[in-house]
Amino acid sequence: MFKHLISWLMTAGLLLVLAACGGGGSSTSSGTTGLTASTSGIAVDPYIVGAVFEEIADDGVTVLQRASTPSDEQGRFSFARPLTAGSIVRIKVSQRGNHGLTPYTGMVKARVPQGANGDLVVSPLTTLVANGASEDEVVQLCRNAGIAITANQINDDPMAPLAGTGSVSDTQLALLQASMTVNAVLEAKNNFDLTPADLTTGTDQSLVTEMADAIRTMLNARQIDQLASSLASDPNLTGPVLLDDIILAMVEQTHTLVNQAKTGMQNGGIQPGDLTGQMQTVMNQLPQTVKDIAMQRQGGGMQPDGAALYASNCAACHGSLASTGKPGRTASQIQSAIDGNIGGMGYLSTLTAAEVQAIADSLQTGIGGNSGGGDNAGSGTTQPDGATLYASNCAACHGNLASTGKPGRTASQIQSAIDGNIGGMGYLSTLTAAEVQAIADALPAGSGGNAGGGNSNTPPDGIALYNSECAGCHGNLANSSKAGRTASQIQSAIDGNVGGMGYLSTLTAAEVQAIADALPAGSGGNTGGGNGGGTTQPDGATLYANNCASCHGSLASSSKAGRTASQIQSAIDGNIGGMGYLSTLTAAEVQAIADALPAGSGGNTGGNYSDCTACHGQPPNGNTSPNTAGAHAAHKALPGVGTDCAVCHTGANHNGQVDLGFPAAYDAQGGVATDNLNGTCSNIICHGGRTTPDWWSGSINVDSQCTSCHAAGTSQYNSYNSGKHTKHISKGYACTDCHNTAKMGNHFGDLTTPAFETDPAATIGGGSTRVGSYDGKNCSNIQCHGGKSW
């Protein structure tokens, strides 16, 4: 956040002194396309810190740029390439950053205008325009709520008018009032895709007006002066109150109003005066909230909530706090991982030292022994538990201990791999020598010969070397996906660290040759690139089987259906998923592979996911990151999902954390599909817009728990509202008293359409229901009563 200093000149009255802050860019909307000169933006509601943005094409699906830099304290972020006019820049739901001490829960976006050449402001007001509203409609919405802004201001930074020195006026605060009001309304409606045209009912208009009145009651020049004056001499504060402190406190209290509004909406809507009673509580709490935030900034008072920080920043990768894979980690270890961007943790660089310490403190509770290296979280002279250390630090990549791909490794070899950051193992540098030795001692004995390099008078055993060094990625020797590879090709892959093979640099030339000799011959044609000779055309199916199937599945069910030769070559050139070793393939061979692929279903809808299976199972099926099972198997079984990661991970990055993003087709009627950052999602069309069960432990019995996805009324595409539903539900009848689940063979036919896949009326009667039959209007042979018209 910018630093606005409040000081008070007692001789001339109370004067607000504001230190300079970053101003925002200004732009106008446009639907045209073409690269602009703009590469940066400002996230403001007010300033959002630590948020990451993505650029989506005008079709709402194609990812143009997956991730910006995290927004800094003045909301600034940047992309690697210029933005495209007409595209949408939106916050990533999995990396929404923070508002002061709490995670940001809004969803802001902006459309890139033609000719943009400055910072693109992304705010709640630009969100309405990106949703399809005109600037005049946004202005009128605000004016109707009593906040006067102009169309020229919509694309401005609402914090910019507060820069400089002088007293703050209500005119300068108007744009921020409008921005906070719009965000609060969208949050209360739980729908960030709305426009003013969607807010025309009486209750919606009351919501806008009530929220605007509440925010103007808090956020005005007189109230800011009074708050600063009342706290100017507080003995618990070591310095002056900042305008930042006051605005953040008002943001905190706005959450209270939003929650009150949500309750009102659930009970029939907001009426004039509904938030008035709550405002007294808010205003009474405001001075203490300002004080708490100021004390936190000054290094005392309210401490960061480590458990909450862990949940919002760490749990997605490392599991819940109670079962975290990182017990006992110290603040020093966490900060070291952030500084080194271990597992993509660099985006957490916005965390303060106090927040990092709070996370570390939360990890110290209920820990038996040191399972993660570094400071001994246990006690006394207890020896490190090698099996536990292996499970928490090694199993995710190398398999469980009993069948590990690294049998017989010595402490020296393990330490060498850590020191060289082989396969990203550098983050284990916090392990002590005793812990590394404990892991080595826990490993099962190596199977035959010198499986890890070094000298031996006995000729190297190529089969044993392959089994211990290669089979984990490339399959058993008889069915190896690398049949026919030469020693030269293997050595080239090691030297280039292709697929993380650099750790095999300890293999001697004789051992590499032994592995090559042990490989089965390539089956048909040129399987490793180069000139196949003659005029025989390359066999695309064979080339795919030998070079692609181990990662992308069999040809018939390939996860890369419809890929073109150009896309395949681009992945090879960019070494996507370690594909660089395929650079020996000729253009004709690449084309043959493309020709052999089955037709794609709707093209590439979510960016390039060529390397998902390099680290994750298909579907993920383990217990530790990056291969945690959760509900992956259940979702893979659904039509339209299968192996398409983009259904839930559109725009995902390889950054060590879970990136959830959903194509617009999966938005529920009630709003945009959203990751709640706690293991659940909301507004997913598949679940009828309802909050999903916990990803890790929840489940739904689709034959009995109908209301887990179907709600009464008309708020969602799959709501039930016809005929006598209300009467029957009120009497306690279950859905299955009338609906026969055995008749729902196409229950999940197409999850992206608003329509029911099976006509609900066609499922009534028979089986274990209480209804004999239903003709579309009347029920007969009913156990509860006589025949009735629905």
pLDDT at residue 444 in the model: 87
* pTM, 2 dp: 0.45
- What whole-number percentage of the chain has pLDDT above 70? 80
Side-chain-side CA neighbours of 124 within 13 Å: the count stands at 27
Q: Please check the confidence at residue 259 and state whether its pLDDT lies above 70.
A: yes
Q: Is the bond into 619 cis (omega within 30 degrees of 0)?
A: yes
- Mean pLDDT, residues 760-774: 88
CA dihedral 318, 320, 322, 328 (to 10 degrees): 30
Q: Please check the confidence at residue 228 and state whether its pLDDT lies above 70.
A: yes
Question: CA-CA distance, 424 to 85, in Å (whole number)?
Answer: 38
Quick check: 160 and 123 in contact, CB under 8 A? no
Q: Please check the confidence at residue 602 and state whether its pLDDT lies above 80.
A: no
Q: Which of 56-70, 445-459, 656-670 has the lowest mean pLDDT?
A: 445-459
Write out the two tokens for 444. Answer: 């099962």
Can you give the length of the chain in residues?
790
Q: Please check the confidence at residue 561 and state whether its pLDDT lies above 60.
A: yes
Q: Indicate the average pLDDT of the chain.
A: 78
pLDDT at residue 460 in the model: 84
Question: CA-CA distance, 456 to 75, in Å (whole number)?
Answer: 60
Closest CA to 329 of 378, 365, 363, 376: 363
- Mean pLDDT, residues 437-459: 64
- What whole-number percentage of the chain has pLDDT above 90? 14
- What are 95-118's pLDDT values in tens digits? 888 876 677 888 899 999 988 888
- What are 473-507's pLDDT values in tens digits? 677 788 787 888 888 888 877 877 666 677 677 78
Contacts of 680 (CB under 8 A, 6+ apart): 691, 692, 693, 694, 695, 698
Q: Which of 109-113, 753-757, 763-767 has the lowest mean pLDDT?
A: 753-757
Instruction: Give the distance, in angstroms, between the CA of residue 153 and the centroid of all CA atoms in the same chain.
Output: 31
Question: CA-CA distance, 331 to 304, in Å (whole number)?
Answer: 14
Quick check: 225 and 16 in contact, CB under 8 A? yes
* Confidence class for position 26, pLDDT limits 50, 70, 90: very low
- Mean pLDDT, residues 377-390: 67
- Mean pLDDT, residues 754-761: 84
Q: Any long-range contacts for 703-706 (C-beta under 8 Å, 24+ apart)? A: 703/736, 703/741, 704/734, 704/736, 704/741, 706/734, 706/735, 706/736, 706/739
Question: CA-CA distance, 484 to 516, in Å (whole number)?
Answer: 7
Closest CA to 85 of 110, 61, 62, 67: 110
* Confidence class for position 136, pLDDT limits 50, 70, 90: very high
Q: Which of 190-199, 377-386, 533-542, 725-734 has the lowest mean pLDDT?
A: 377-386
Higher pLDDT, 527 or 790: 790
Contacts of 610 (CB under 8 A, 6+ apart): 560, 571, 576, 577, 579
pLDDT at residue 128 in the model: 96
Burial class (CB in 10 A: 0-12, 13-18, 19+), 93: buried
C-beta atoms surrounding 99 within 10 Å: 24
pLDDT at residue 180 in the model: 94
- Mean pLDDT, residues 15-30: 36
* Confidence class for position 123, pLDDT limits 50, 70, 90: very high
- Mean pLDDT, residues 328-347: 74
pLDDT at residue 27 in the model: 38
Question: CA-CA distance, 402 to 390, in Å (whole number)?
Answer: 11
Closest CA to 634 of 681, 696, 557: 696
